[in-house]
Amino acid sequence: MNLVKSLLSLSQEISALKPIQCLLIQKSLSTINKSKLLAIVFEELLRNPVSTSFSPSILLCFEEMYIVFQRIKTLMEDCCSGSKMWLLMRIQPLANSFHELTLELSTLLDIFPVNELDLSQDVEELFVLVRKHCFQSKPSVDPRDDSLRRDVLALLHQIKKEIVPHHLKLKQILDNLGLRDQSSCREEIECLQAEIQNQIDEKSKLDIASLIGLLRYAKCVLFGSSTTQLEPDHRRRNSLSEIAVPADFRCPISLELMRDPVVVASGQTYDRESINQWIESGHNMCPKTGQTLAHTNLIPNRALRNLIAMWCRQQRVPFETVGSIEKVSGVKATKAAFEATKMTVYFLVNKLSVSPSMEAANAVTYELRALAKTDSDSRACIAEAGAIPILVRCLGSGVGSEHPNLQVNAVTTILNLSILEANKTRIMETDGALNGVIDVLRFGATWEAKGNAAATIFSLSGVHTYRKRLGRKTRVIKALMDLAKDGPTNSKRDALVTILNLAGDRETVGRLVEGGVIETVIGVINVLPEEAVTILEAVVKRGGLVAIAEAYNSIKKLGVILREGSDTARESAAASLVTICRKGGLEVVAELAAVPSIERIIWEVMGTGTMRARRKAAVLLRILRRWSAGLDTNDVVDSSVMSVGTLTTMLPA
- In sequence order, the β-bridge partners of residue 299 are 263
Indicate if the pLDDT at residue 315 is higher than 80.
no
Task: Give dist(CA 409, CA 365) in Å, integer.
Answer: 6
pLDDT digit string, tens, across residues 494-519: 899 899 889 888 889 999 999 999 99
Which fold, 258-315? Answer: Herpes Virus-1 (3.30.40)
Task: State what percent of residues in the chain have pLDDT above 90.
Answer: 38
According to DSSP, the residues that pair with 300 across neighbouring strands are 262
- Which distant-in-sequence residues (6+ apart) come within 8 Å of 420 by Cβ? 376, 379, 380, 383
Q: Which of 54-58, 76-80, 197-201 is predicted least confidently?
A: 197-201
Per-residue pLDDT averaged across 600-609, rounded?
Answer: 91
Distance CA 403, CA 647 (A): 60
In tens, the pLDDT along 280-311 reads 767 778 887 777 788 888 888 877 887 787 77
pLDDT tens sequence across 97-149: 999 999 998 888 888 888 888 788 888 888 888 888 888 888 888 899 999 99
Average pLDDT over residues 550-563: 90
114 vs 106: CA distance, rounded Å: 14
Q: For residues 387 and 394, what is the distance between their CA atoms, to the nearest angstrom? A: 11
Please, which residues have CB within 8 angstroms of residue 508's CB and are 6 or more apart in sequence? 467, 468, 471, 472, 477, 502
Band (324; pLDDT cuts 50, 70, 90): very low
Q: Are 276 and 284 in contact (CB under 8 A)?
A: no
Amino acid in position 394? C
- First-to-final CA distance of the chain: 69
Q: What is the mean pLDDT of the chain?
A: 84
Name the band, by pLDDT with cuts 50, 70 and 90, for residue 633: low
Q: Residue 365 in contact with residue 406, Cβ under 8 Å?
A: yes
Other Cβ atoms closer than 10 A to 304? 16
Give the Cα separation of 369 and 507 in Å (integer). 34
Backbone angles phi, psi at 196, to 5 degrees: -55, -35
3-state SS assignment for residue 629: coil
Residue 474's pLDDT is what?
Answer: 93
User: Distance between CA atoms of 113 and 334, rounded to whole angstroms?
Assistant: 55
Q: Is pLDDT above 70 for 319?
A: no
The total number of residues shown for the chain amounts to 653
Find out whether 79 and 34 touch, Cβ atoms under 8 Å. no
pLDDT of res. 368: 94
50 pLDDT band, cuts 50/70/90, is low
Give the residue among 226, 456, 186 at the shortest CA–CA distance from 362: 226
Domain locations in the chain as residue ranges: 1-141, 144-224, 258-315
Indicate if the pLDDT at residue 459 is higher than 50: yes
